[in-house]
Structure 1
Amino acid sequence: MPTILSHALLSKAFYITAQGSKRAQENLMHQLSLLKVAPKDILKLKSPIGLIPSARETRILVISVLADILAKSKNLVS
């Protein structure tokens, strides 16, 4: 997964995220730095995902993420 994310972080994508615990996120950021991803690019990684960070139920998580994407995309257009 870090390899895929490293490519996404270098793209023009405006919403890049990976689900996981704080420990998993820290490990992911470490792996990305080992792949020579610049710290400014690693900061593009959104964590936690969605507007409701503690969402566990699938439907709530999906709505939370979609609402966050819509909010971010609106800022791109405005």
Structure 2
Amino acid sequence: MTPHSHHQTLQQRAGATTIAGPWTSYSQIKGLPERERWTLYELAKAGRLAMEDKVFQVAERYDAFVRRVTEELDL
């Protein structure tokens, strides 16, 4: 599978960089077996956490992120 790289809009706000998207879409891979989709979900969460650990502010609320990714992966 080829990773998709989407241009992300970066904005400066009060010294923190806010990442506003567009976000990676996972809907094109929802046909994969469930185990692989759960693995990709865990990778998506780890990627978001890595951004937050680097002091990036993510514009998409965490609950919206979880809802979107689980729907796109049909989990």
Q: Which has the higher helix share?
A: 1
- Range class of TM-score, shorter chain: 0.3 to 0.5
Q: Which has the higher strand share?
A: 2
